[in-house]
Amino acid sequence: MEIDVKFFASLRERMGRTSDKVTLDGDVATVSDVWNQLSSEPIPNNILVAVNKEYTDLSQELKSGDEVAFFPPVTGG
Amino acid sequence: MEIDVKFFASLRERMGRTSDKVTLDGDVATVSDVWNQLSSEPIPNNILVAVNKEYTDLSQELKSGDEVAFFPPVTGG
Amino acid sequence: MRVVVQEEALDPYKEIKHHEETVLESGKHGGVVSFVGTMRDFNDGEDVSAMNLDHYPGMTEKHIEQVCQEAMDGWDVMDVLVVHRVGDMYPSDPIVLVAVWSAHRASAFDACRYVINYLKERAPFWKCEVTKAGKKHWVEHNSKDPGVAESREKAV
Amino acid sequence: MRVVVQEEALDPYKEIKHHEETVLESGKHGGVVSFVGTMRDFNDGEDVSAMNLDHYPGMTEKHIEQVCQEAMDGWDVMDVLVVHRVGDMYPSDPIVLVAVWSAHRASAFDACRYVINYLKERAPFWKCEVTKAGKKHWVEHNSKDPGVAESREKAV
């Protein structure tokens, strides 16, 4: 399946890109699988995850075409 | 002693005047004495009293030149 | 701290801007909380077409200033502005502005609420409404709005 | 309910006026409570000369709208307006406006506070500050402001 990936703020700088596309084999994949495809390092502790613009966690299962975002804690307003 | 009196809102209309001056005999007088000089009727229950622009009550003693105000409950803001 | 009671029409947001430009040091406050009370065209189920707001010159300002000082003493706020209109007004006219500047929004919210609650409770103003049918009457009691006791508890 | 995220400079009080003139029915609301957050020229003891506010287009608006809807459901309010700036900004620039109209001021205060607290907690924005010395850094955590838990309890 194909997943659109987005990075924001300090994580975007650390990853060196604002977005990416990953292709995962098989029918079942989670957000964790996406991260592992992107980086050989474990995901930093404080990183938040959204799928299709809703907060979720690493265990969420994905379907092809989902948009997965990784970003640090929000500091707005 | 001479006392300046002010009325506001519905009480001003009821008294038919915005201000008055009363002269009281003797050295000791209270707000009650002022009211009794102004009207033969007892002071209405809900009427508030201020002396020199501070809230007080009918028992407050006065000195010559004090400004005494009578008015209904406030409804501002 | 600035307290104004005026007959002229009140433009609340012009007052806030003017206060920020003339009195406050730029870049220091993190936020401002404001309350603007406007005249409604109904009250207790009746249509209202005009209102005259009576006040006690001198005492009104004095009591608003006392309430503002209590807010400045009770919370970590940088400045308080109150502008209150008196005299003849019409539905949708702004009647009162309370604005509170602070580095911390929680203090600004608490202090702003304190000022408007106590201003309504203690400052000598009296509303005389004119109904659509042309009848004039003095408002007998303030419409109850919860929050006064609560706000008082928070003042230190 | 109106939620806007924009790069253009924010004139909060012009937004309030515009909303009142174009959306709200005249003479019906008794008051409006607003919060305007402005950029300070210091943070955690350091001088700050500029800031870039990053956001997640689409998700940011969606989460602000959710918070506004919760406020509309939780209190007796007539309307909520939020305008949030993103991109490059400088000290004393307004960053965010939250305005809540209601017939009752207690509801307007509660709802306004709820919106700004949860907007800050949930809406994806990230501050990147530039210090006077020219050093750029991402702000790691929101400055703690009490009131979030308190405000949540009041939502029904």
Q: pLDDT tier at C123 (50, 70, 90 boundaries)?
A: very high
Q: Where are the domains of chain C?
A: 2-155
CB contact under 8 Å between D56 and A71, yes or no, is yes
Render pLDDT for D106-143 as a digit per residue (tens, 0 to 9): 999 999 999 999 999 999 999 999 998 889 999 987 75
CA of D27, closest CA in chain A: separation in Å?
31
pLDDT at position D145, please? Answer: 52
Predicted confidence at residue C45, as pLDDT, reads 76
Q: Categorize the per-residue pLDDT at B36 as very low, low, confident or very high, splitting at 50, 70 and 90.
A: very high
Of C54, C58, C128, the CB nearest to B53: C58
- Show residues of chain A in contact with D58, CB under 8 Å: 53
- Alpha-carbon distance of D151 to B33, in angstroms, equals 51
Domain spans of chain A, in order of start: 2-71
* pLDDT, tens digit, 9 for 90 and up, residues C57-81: 999 999 999 999 999 999 999 999 9
pLDDT tops 90 at residue C148: no
> Which of B6, B12, B75 comes nearest C127 by C-beta?
B75
Chain C residues at the B interface, defined by Cβ less than 8 Å, are 37, 53-56, 58-59, 62, 84, 95-96, 116, 119-128, 138-142
Question: For the whole model, what pTM was predicted?
Answer: 0.91
Indicate if the pLDDT at residue B19 is higher than 60.
yes
Whether the predicted pLDDT of D28 surpasses 90: no
Residues A12-32 have a mean pLDDT of 94
What's the CA gap between C99 and C80, in Å, rounded?
6
The SS3 assignment for B42 reads coil
Please tell me the distance in Å from C76's CA to the nearest CA on chain B. Answer: 24
Phi then psi dihedrals of residue B35, to 5 deg: -60, -45
Between chains, do D30 and C16 touch, taking CB under 8 Å as contact?
Answer: no
Residues in chain D: 156
CATH number of C2-155: 3.90.1170.40
In the block, tokens 């609340």 appear at: C12
The CATH number of domain B2-71, selected from 3.30.70.1520, 3.40.50.150, 3.10.20.30, 1.10.3720.10: 3.10.20.30
Residue D54's closest CA among A51, A58, A69, A43?
A69
- C-alpha to C-alpha distances, A17 to A8, A38, A46, B4, B74, nearest whole angstrom: 9, 11, 19, 79, 64
pLDDT at C145 over 60: no
Length of chain C: 156
Q: What is the ipTM of this complex?
A: 0.90
Q: Do A74 and D126 touch (CB under 8 A)?
A: yes
Of C53, C56, C84, the CB nearest to B69: C56
Share of residues in chain B with pLDDT > 70 (%): 99
With 0-12 / 13-18 / 19 or more C-beta atoms within 10 angstroms meaning exposed / middle / buried, residue B13 is: middle
**Structure token pair of residue A76:** 């707005």
CB-closest option in D14, D103, D105 to C35: D105
The strand pair at D2-6 and D79-85 is best described as parallel
Please report residues of C whose CB lies closer than 8 A to that of D118.
none
Least CA distance to C96: which residue of chain D?
A: D31
Rounded to the nearest 5 percent, the helix, strand and coil shares of chain D are 35, 35, 30
